[in-house]
């Protein structure tokens, strides 16, 4: 059966990471390894991780951003596929199994994603949250060779947009992505989390991502890319 590693970048995720880990451990197709990269948390993330009851490899680094932690995790994996998840989001039990099935059906795909639905932290999931295609770290199952070939996940200013940049670069390199048209992941709405709300400084990260994409295009068009 297909073997995969799980990479979870985490920063001050003590409130949520145990639930995330349990959703990973509950997969119908169990992971071969789970790597938590603690990006210099100042809360009890490590204790919550170790007390979750889920067997993991815990690695800590100085705070450098979610992209850096993801890249570190990629480098530590040892199986042919990598699944990633943010430390506050959840997987539904058949997520990975469905994704491997899609990869078997379409071996040309480099990565497979799923729809995801929002739920509110501290409230029961009513199943009524917004459903959108989860082009994101939380839903991604990617071939390890592709993940390493695309290169580091670069953190823009404000620690936002790093996966937009990385996934955009992967597509520019010709890698094909698949999307399973089914909700198999849940995204937590948690005010104060890295990805919640609007912030001018963080919006700057998205602009930097757009700028980098234009610079790459310019370089390519000039024949140097």
Partner 1 sequence: MGFSSIYAVSGSDIVYETFDGDAVVLDLASGRYFGFSDSGSCVWEALIAHVSPASLVGRDCGSGVIAADDLDAFIARLGEYGLLSPAAEVAPTALSPELAARLAAARDGLKIDMHDELADLVMVDPIHDVDEPAGWPAVRQ
Which residues here bind partner 1, judged by CB under 8 A? 118, 120, 130, 132-136, 160-161, 163-164, 167-168, 171, 187, 189, 191, 195-198, 200, 203-204, 206-211, 213-214, 217
Nearer to partner 1, 4 or 113 (CB): 113
CB of 107 to partner 1, least distance (A): 23
Q: Which residue has the tokens 């917004």?
A: 130
Q: Taking Cα atoms as reference points, which of 78, 97, 80 lies closest to residue 35?
A: 78
Q: Which residue has the tokens 């001050």?
A: 12
Q: Is 224 exposed, middle or buried (0-12, 13-18, 19+ CB in 10 A)?
A: exposed
Q: Which residues pair with 179 in a beta bridge?
A: 113
User: Going by C-beta distance under 8 Å and a sequence separation of 6 or more, which residues neighbour residue 179?
Assistant: 112, 113, 114, 115, 133, 135
Backbone conformation region of residue 197, classed left if phi is above 0, alpha if psi is from -120 to 50, else beta: left
Q: Is 131 exposed, middle or buried (0-12, 13-18, 19+ CB in 10 A)?
A: middle
Nearer to partner 1, 76 or 210 (CB): 210
Nearer to partner 1, 133 or 151 (CB): 133
β-strand pairing of 57-60 with 33-38:
parallel
CB of 50 to partner 1, least distance (A): 28
Nearer to partner 1, 128 or 224 (CB): 128
Nearer to partner 1, 200 or 223 (CB): 200
CB of 82 to partner 1, least distance (A): 19
Nearer to partner 1, 34 or 188 (CB): 188
Rounded CA-CA distance 156/78 in Å is: 27
CB of 187 to partner 1, least distance (A): 7
CB of 183 to partner 1, least distance (A): 13
CB of 162 to partner 1, least distance (A): 11
């Amino acid at each position: 059966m297909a073997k995969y590693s799980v990479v979870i970048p985490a920063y001050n995720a003590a409130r949520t990471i145990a639930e995330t880990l349990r959703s990973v451990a509950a997969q119908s197709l169990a992971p071969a390894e789970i790597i938590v990269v603690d990006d210099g948390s100042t809360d009890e993330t490590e204790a919550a991780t170790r007390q979750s009851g889920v067997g993991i490899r815990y690695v800590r680094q100085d705070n450098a951003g979610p992209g850096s932690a993801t890249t570190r995790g990629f480098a530590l994996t040892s199986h042919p596929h990598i699944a990633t998840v943010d430390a506050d989001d959840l997987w539904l039990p058949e997520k990975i199994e469905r994704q491997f099935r899609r990869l078997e059906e379409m071996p040309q795909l480099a990565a497979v994603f799923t729809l995801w639905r929002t739920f509110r932290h501290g409230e029961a999931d009513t199943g009524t949250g917004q459903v959108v295609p989860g082009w994101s770290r939380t839903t991604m199952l990617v071939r390890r060779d592709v993940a390493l070939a695309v290169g580091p996940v670069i953190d823009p200013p404000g620690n936002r947009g790093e996966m937009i940049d990385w996934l955009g670069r992967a597509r520019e390199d010709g890698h094909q992505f698949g999307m399973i048209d089914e909700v198999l992941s849940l995204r937590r709405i948690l005010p104060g989390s890295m990805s919640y709300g609007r912030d001018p400084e963080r919006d700057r990260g998205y602009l930097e991502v757009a700028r980098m994409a234009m610079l790459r295009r310019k370089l390519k068009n000039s024949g140097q890319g």
